[in-house]
Amino acid sequence: MDLHDSPEDAAFRTEARSWLEDNLTGEFSHARGLGRMGLQHEGRQLRQAWEQRLGRDGWTCVGWPAEHGGRGASVSQQVIWNEEYVEADAPARINVMGEGLLGPTLIAYGTDEQQRRFLPGIRQGTELWCQGYSEPDAGSDLANVKTRAVRDGDEWVVTGQKVWTSYAQWADWCFVVCRTDPGSSRHKGLSYLLVPMDQPGVEVRPIRQVTGTSEFNEVFFDGARTTTDLVVGAVDDGWRVALATLAFERGVGLLGDVVGFRKELDHLLALARRTGRSRDPVLRQRLADAWIRLSILRMNTLRSLTGVDGPVAPPEASIAKLFWATWHRDLGELAMDVLGAGACVAEAFPYELGDLQRMFLFSRADTIYGGSNEIQHNIIGERVLGLPPEPKVAAKGAP
Ligand SMILES: Cc1cc2nc3c(=O)[nH]c(=O)nc-3n(C[C@H](O)[C@H](O)[C@H](O)COP(=O)(O)OP(=O)(O)OC[C@H]3O[C@@H](n4cnc5c(N)ncnc54)[C@H](O)[C@@H]3O)c2cc1C
């Protein structure tokens, strides 16, 4: 594998880097670093204005095909964009659900009318989206979804509860997996509905996290309405569409994350040197191990993206998810050990958490969202290694 940029990719990198340098200026210089892990609530207005600046100059949705308003960028160029973006310390993107999940799903499964209606708002950063999948009894076991939608003339009426819905407090729209065939169970009889959030039948309740901030929410649908033309794919065939969305969940963005991980590790290494903790032989080994495993993660991700033109295949996606989530959780623990007793002390009044403390706390979520470590182990065991399947336990309330 040649890890150097081709001449075209090098030109693309220069263009991306200089656009970021030119535009992270003026009011947007204050946006640098906003919305980092554990601080996702920061700077909504400024970050949305930044999203619109990106959209104006064609730097959102770079991997979408040109016919849908993207740049049609190759996988290597999408990787480059993500790397440069993180390297420039640009603010965390605010419409990841729209750009990364719903947009590609609409391109694959949406009607022409749905594409015309929704893709421009995602590209231009004017309409924000959230993902309404998980429920109190349907997380890893998504097929246990209970939220239901009942047809009423030209509309669907949605009733039920979603949970852990990231960015619902800001979203204009939610893509909701719900049960449209009342007699159905498991993955049959589900549909994939696009539901407007700003209506009386939708209540968003932020969940306060251990970091003290609220990135995700409970969402209650109580007679919420959406029109019948806003089902993606066929009615009662939403499972297929829902799985397609999940397949887009990780991929080229991971190499951008790797750049962010490297910055966190560099910060930790500098701290360990400054405080003399790097002389502790055990910490020293763990720091070296973190560095080595991060290099492996980068190489493996590059390898799995080589020759890929779409979502990364499930076994590789599972291996990557398991590896990076575990690496990052371990980094959080290592950071606390490097801080030593200081890890237990918040910074000055009003007792703000430091970056490393926040990273440690938030990284506990990494091995849960996007498919928990246990679920990734199951996928690798069953689909890659051909081991006997997990015994299936009937879900609560399932027939
Ligand atoms: C930061 C964050 C953001 C999120 N954002 C969103 C969002 O925007 N939209 C959305 O819909 N959801 C979101 N989620 C929810 C996420 O998808 C679920 O938390 C995840 O699927 C796990 O589901 P659960 O929390 O219900 O846990 P459960 O599924 O109840 O699992 C509990 C424990 O049991 C284990 N377990 C479950 N089933 C098995 C099995 N078959 N074999 C072995 N072990 C098993 C799990 O690994 C876990 O340790 C988010 C979660 C987090 C943490």
pLDDT tens across 283-322, in order?
999 999 999 999 999 888 888 777 666 666 667 788 889 9
Check pLDDT > 90 for residue 154.
yes
* pLDDT at residue 309, as a whole number: 63
* pLDDT at residue 12, as a whole number: 97
Cβ-based neighbours of 339, under 8 Å, separated by 6 or more: 271, 356, 357
Check pLDDT > 90 for residue 255.
no
Q: Pick the atom of ligand 1 nearest to 371's CA.
A: 21
For range 139-148, the mean pLDDT: 96
* Residue of minimum CA distance from atom 29 in ligand 1: 140
**Which residues are tagged catalytic?**
249
* Tokens of residue 196, six digits: 């407007």
* pLDDT at residue 212, as a whole number: 83
pTM for the model:
0.93
Reported as a single tens digit per residue, the pLDDT across 193-225 is 999 999 999 999 999 988 888 889 999 999 999
Q: What's the Cα-to-Cα distance from 254 to each of 86, 167, 283, 389, rounded to whole Å?
A: 11, 20, 27, 29
Residue 36: band (very low, low, confident or very high) from pLDDT cuts 50, 70, 90: confident
173 lines ligand 1 (CB under 6 A): no
Residue 38: band (very low, low, confident or very high) from pLDDT cuts 50, 70, 90: confident
* pLDDT at residue 258, as a whole number: 87
For range 244-252, the mean pLDDT: 78
Which run of H or E residues covers position 152? strand 148-152
Check pLDDT > 70 for residue 175.
yes
372 lines ligand 1 (CB under 6 A): yes
Q: What percent of the chain has pLDDT over 90?
A: 76
Residue of 82 and 229 predicted with greater confidence: 229
Strands 129-132 and 173-179: parallel
Ligand 1 centre from 369 Cα, in Å?
6
d(CA 358, CA 262): 17
Residue 244 · residue 182 · CB < 8 Å:
no
Ligand 1 centre from 139 Cα, in Å?
4
139 lines ligand 1 (CB under 6 A): yes
Please state, rounded to an integer, the average pLDDT across all residues of the chain. Answer: 92
Ligand 1 centre from 135 Cα, in Å?
9
Residue 398 · residue 343 · CB < 8 Å:
no
Check pLDDT > 70 for residue 399.
no
For range 31-52, the mean pLDDT: 91
d(CA 11, CA 8): 5
d(CA 177, CA 237): 10
Ligand 1 centre from 364 Cα, in Å?
12
d(CA 252, CA 247): 12
Q: Can you state the angle between helices 355-363 and 314-339, rounded to 10 degrees? A: 140
Ligand 1 centre from 35 Cα, in Å?
23
Residue 110: band (very low, low, confident or very high) from pLDDT cuts 50, 70, 90: very high
378 lines ligand 1 (CB under 6 A): yes
Residue 240 · residue 177 · CB < 8 Å:
no
Check pLDDT > 50 for residue 398.
no
Ligand 1 centre from 187 Cα, in Å?
17
216 lines ligand 1 (CB under 6 A): yes
Q: Of the residues 97, 131, 164, which should be mutated to test ligand 1's pocket, given the most ligand atoms within 8 Å of the CB?
A: 164
d(CA 332, CA 362): 9
Q: Pick the atom of ligand 1 nearest to 137's CA.
A: 26
396 lines ligand 1 (CB under 6 A): no
367 lines ligand 1 (CB under 6 A): no
Residue with tokens 């790097």: 278
d(CA 183, CA 399): 11
